């Protein structure tokens, strides 16, 4: 295993990381690489959980911050190996989020004397079901590793700050009927026909727009799947509508569930997943000082990200990383070279700027 050269520039390092395939579930090689590269550095203590790697400074500062990113990517789509074209770096994960990982690795390797203690978290399986997520495992097994006054998740956010995130609820609404041969359809009850009011209610719903800390979180309520059908000559006895509800972080998971159940009181509603969102926390000192240092205007994060896991642990968190978030998971994803450099530079400045007083309660 050749370790990447962490003294090389961030663009070179991003290309090297893109060229290590790391589809979810197959992160052993990239985790080995990261562990080996950081393990040689005297100012860091490195631990490994599965294919997640945690590296910490232990300088005794009263404040600690987390810088985190996931090592995995969605499956390749003909977009390996990496290429560059002008001021863009193309390739699987360039945007989501090998660029952010490269920035974090550069900081871990080169900021040997930060003004705060720093915990770098490189984790596995973010792109798949939540119970495989490496950050979930760390939060469960070693929550102490995630305690900090603030966490920065290096998810692509166009080198701006995306604060908080929506919650996500999925539910199956099942409408029932009674089978019959279509030649004698009056002997049955068509479940697909009975599903019309469910779809119409979804169509008629006006999603809320919730403003929190000056940021607008626009909700969304959608049927993402409709399934009915037994055979070509059978009146279907079941129609299942899968609903996706993106809800503002001001609603709790329980409130989101109640909202959906109240919207469809007469139907069989099975909540299959619900994960709360995260409040932007812009009123918290740790967040405002970071936003000020980065010199950006926060935007609301609409998709769900792991900032919600930090929020669940009581650690304010925000997304800040290179790359356009709408390019994530696209075959043509890329990261602008300038954003790689800008993110590295601004975070380096922030990590090394002298602190006059703890901005938050000290962590043990």
**Residue 222 sits in the site that holds its own copies (CB under 8 A):** yes
Whether 349 is a known active-site residue: answer no
- We find the least distance from the C-beta atom of residue 222 to its own copies, in angstroms, to be 5
β-pairing verdict for 52-56 and 117-123: antiparallel
- We find the least distance from the C-beta atom of residue 192 to its own copies, in angstroms, to be 4
Q: Can you give the length of the chain in residues?
A: 364
Active-site choice (63, 72, 124, 333) = 72
46 or 195: CB nearest its own copies? 195
| Residue numbers 321-360 binding its own copies by CB under 8 A | 326
Alpha carbon distances (Å) from 7 to 10, 48, 106, 243, 322: 9, 23, 7, 48, 19
Q: What are phi and psi of 123, to 5 degrees?
A: -125, 165
Whether 216 is a known active-site residue: answer no
Residue whose pair of structure tokens reads 């985790």 in the numeric block: 31
45 or 233: CB nearest its own copies? 233
Contact by Cβ (8 Å): 120, 64: no
Active-site choice (27, 126, 155, 344) = 126
Q: CA 359, 363, 364: angle at the middle one, nearest 5?
A: 150
How many chain residues interact with its own copies (CB under 8 A)? Answer: 47
- We find the least distance from the C-beta atom of residue 323 to its own copies, in angstroms, to be 16
Q: What is the phi-psi region of residue 88: left when phi exceeds 0, alpha when psi lies from -120 to 50, beta otherwise?
A: beta
Report the distance separating Cα 308 and Cα 168, nearest Å: 11
**Residue 253 sits in the site that holds its own copies (CB under 8 A):** no
Only one of the segments 97-105, 199-207, 334-342, 352-360 lies at the binding site for its own copies (rule: CB under 8 A); that segment is 199-207
Residues that bind its own copies (CB under 8 A): 166, 170, 181-186, 190, 192-197, 199-200, 202-203, 207, 218, 220-236, 239, 241-242, 244, 246, 302-304, 326
Q: Which residues are catalytic?
A: 72, 126
């Amino acid at each position: 295993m050749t370790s990447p050269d962490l003294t090389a520039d961030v663009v070179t390092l991003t290309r090297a990381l893109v060229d290590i395939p790391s589809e979810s579930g197959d992160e052993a090689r990239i985790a080995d690489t990261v562990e080996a590269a950081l393990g040689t550095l005297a100012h860091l203590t490195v631990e490994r959980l599965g294919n997640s790697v945690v590296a910490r400074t232990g300088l005794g500062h009263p404040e600690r911050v987390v810088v985190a990113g996931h090592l995995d990517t969605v499956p390749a789509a003909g977009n390996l190996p990496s290429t560059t074209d002008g001021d863009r770096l193309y390739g699987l994960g360039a945007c989501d989020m090998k660029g952010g990982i490269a920035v974090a690795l550069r900081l871990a390797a080169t900021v040997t004397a930060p003004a705060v203690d720093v915990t770098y978290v490189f984790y596995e399986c973010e792109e798949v079901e939540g119970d495989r997520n490496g950050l979930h495992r760390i939060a469960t097994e070693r929550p102490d590793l995630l305690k900090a006054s603030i966490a920065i998740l290096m998810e692509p956010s166009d080198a701006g700050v995306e604060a908080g995130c929506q919650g996500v609820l999925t539910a199956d609404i099942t409408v029932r009927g009674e089978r019959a041969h279509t030649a004698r359809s009056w002997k049955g009850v068509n479940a697909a026909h009975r599903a019309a009011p469910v779809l119409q209610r979804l169509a008629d719903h006006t999603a809320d727009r919730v403003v929190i800390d000056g940021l607008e979180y626009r909700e969304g309520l959608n049927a993402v799947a409709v399934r009915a059908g037994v055979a070509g000559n059978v009146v279907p006895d079941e129609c299942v509508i899968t609903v996706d509800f993106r809800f503002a972080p001001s609603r709790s998971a329980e409130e989101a569930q109640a909202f959906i159940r109240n919207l469809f009181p007469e139907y069989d509603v099975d909540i299959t997943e619900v994960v709360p969102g995260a409040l932007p926390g812009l009123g918290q000192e740790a967040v405002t000082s970071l936003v000020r240092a980065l010199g950006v205007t926060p935007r609301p994060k609409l998709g769900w990200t792991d900032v919600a896991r930090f929020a669940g642990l009581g650690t304010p968190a925000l997304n800040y990383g290179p790359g356009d978030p709408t390019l994530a998971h696209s075959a043509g994803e890329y990261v602008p070279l300038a954003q790689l450099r800008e993110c590295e530079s601004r975070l380096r400045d922030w990590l090394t700027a002298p602190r006059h007083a703890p901005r938050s309660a000290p962590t043990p």
